[in-house]
Amino acid sequence: PAHRLDGIPPTIFTQMSALALRTGAVNLGQGFPDVDGPASSRARVARAVEEGANQYAPGTGVPALRRAVAEHQRRHYGIDLDPDTQVCATTGATEGIAAALLGLVDPGDEVVVLEPYYDSYVAMIQMAGGVRRPVTLRAPDYRLDVAELRAAVTARTRFVLLNSPHNPTGTVLGPEELQAVADVAIEHDLVVITDEVYEHLVYDDAVHTPISTLPGMAERTLSLSSVGKSWSFTGWKVGWATGPSYLVEAVLNAKQWLTFTSGSPLQPAVAQALDEEADFPLALARDLQGRRDLLCEGLGAAGLPARVPQGTYFASVDVEHLGWEDSTAFCRALPERAGVVAIPLRGFYPDSDAGRHLVRFAFCKTVQVIEDGLARLAAAD
Ligand code: PMP
Ligand code: GLN
């Protein structure tokens, strides 16, 4: 394998889902729902295929999707976008991340990024030749330390790669944290790349505010999201990049050599979901909040007290008190001990020891699956 992949292990999600299949364990690991998104959107895919949406779509995405994304940003956040120059469809947010980093980062450029890292950030910053500058979110409350953020910036820093709501901690950055990031970005003339795939999955009184809506930020922010989480279609792999045209163009420049275009029949269906199933994410979030509470209460009762997250699909537990060497050892043993798969967060913290004993459980599963998993955890020794 090429040296640009040195030190990057196979994605933990694939490893752990394979382990769940092999052992018959309840999979509370990889974040995907076990109930699909709206039937009307699924039917729209079938219709698109029948109607002949079977050849290459435009590289930026079909016009209906770009318009629906612009309308989504306007409706929820009051953001004004030109669908022709400020929106680009991507093959999931994963391609958005890859294309943004490959299209913008030069070798040696530093990227300030919140640790724990969603795993593709590490791989793609490295493949782009960038250097990550960590700002660590620590248990138990996983808040952004503004002093640490400021200390992470050097003369070579050019980007902040943000993720809020944050996977895996569930942190939703609040107004002061976002303002601190914006202040630093403006002061040091940084571009912010923000991964907002969990934008609608926030709970209690948490509010997701896109950093691009802060004063002075629209012109320096590239926003990434996708249909996967908000509409329960993780397998569709349709996402979008939005922002000023010079940043969207950089995404397109790289994307044209990665996938050229994204899947044709899915794009009109995603447009339909954004337009006609606009309320789906809200109802999903209400429902997920209940499942979050079910999971967190059950984990507590099983001797695995979880931090109750403000957003995302995930709750994390510190297992140090149980005497395990680290969370990877804990998770490797868990299928046999309890018949459950969870995700070790040690690997999400490659630049510090802060994740050594953290384990992530997903609550984007049916009540029945969560209850089954919890019963197994409670019965384990
Ligand atoms: N970013 C984060 C933070 C994620 O959790 C995920 C996983 N779903 C992605 C990006 C990838 O999104 P997609 O499936 O749309 O490629
Ligand atoms: N984002 C999902 C998670 O964090 C899974 C995505 C993937 O498997 N790459 O579990």
What CATH number should be reported for the domain holding residue 284?
3.90.1150.10
Q: State residue 301's pLDDT score.
A: 97
Instruction: Name the token pair of 184.
Output: 């630093």
Q: State residue 151's pLDDT score.
A: 98
CB 379 within 8 A of CB 362: no
Q: What is the DSSP string of 256-278?
A: HHHTSS--TTHHHHHHHHHHHTT
Closest CA to ligand 2's atom 2 = 31
Of 276, 301, 329, which closes a domain?
276
DSSP 3-state percent helix, strand, coil across the chain (nearest 5): 45, 15, 40
Cis-peptide into 116, omega within 30 deg: yes
Q: Is the dihedral of CA 163, 164, 166, 172 positive or negative?
A: positive
- Decide if 44 is inside a domain: no
Same domain, 112 and 225: yes
Ligand number, closest to the Cα atom of 198:
1
CB 196 within 8 A of CB 208: yes
Same domain, 222 and 82: yes
Q: How far is the CA of 183 from the centre of ligand 2 (A)?
A: 31
Report whether pLDDT(7) > 80: yes
Ligand number, closest to the Cα atom of 195:
1
3 state DSSP class of 341: strand
Q: State residue 1's pLDDT score.
A: 86
Condensed to tens digits (0 to 9), the pLDDT of residues 316-363 reads 999 999 999 999 999 999 999 999 999 999 999 999 999 999 999 999
Condensed to tens digits (0 to 9), the pLDDT of residues 167-202 reads 999 999 999 999 999 999 999 999 999 999 999 999
Q: Give ligand 1 pocket residues (Cβ under 6 A).
A: 31, 92-94, 118, 163, 167, 195, 197, 226, 228, 234, 237, 239
206 Cβ contact list (under 8 Å, min separation 6):
165, 172, 310, 311
Condensed to tens digits (0 to 9), the pLDDT of residues 25-52 reads 999 999 999 999 999 999 999 999 999 9
Number of domains in the chain: 2
Of 261, 276, 291, which closes a domain?
276
Residue 171: CATH number of its domain: 3.40.640.10
Condensed to tens digits (0 to 9), the pLDDT of residues 280-294 reads 999 999 999 999 999
pTM of the model: 0.97
- Residue of 11, 15, 19, 30 to mutate, ligand 2, most atoms within 8 A of C-beta: 30
Same domain, 162 and 271: yes
Q: How far is the CA of 120 from the centre of ligand 2 (A)?
A: 10
Q: State residue 328's pLDDT score.
A: 96
CB 167 within 8 A of CB 198: yes
Task: For this complex, say whether ipTM is above 0.95.
Answer: yes
2 Cβ contact list (under 8 Å, min separation 6):
none
Average pLDDT over residues 191-217: 98
CB 48 within 8 A of CB 264: yes
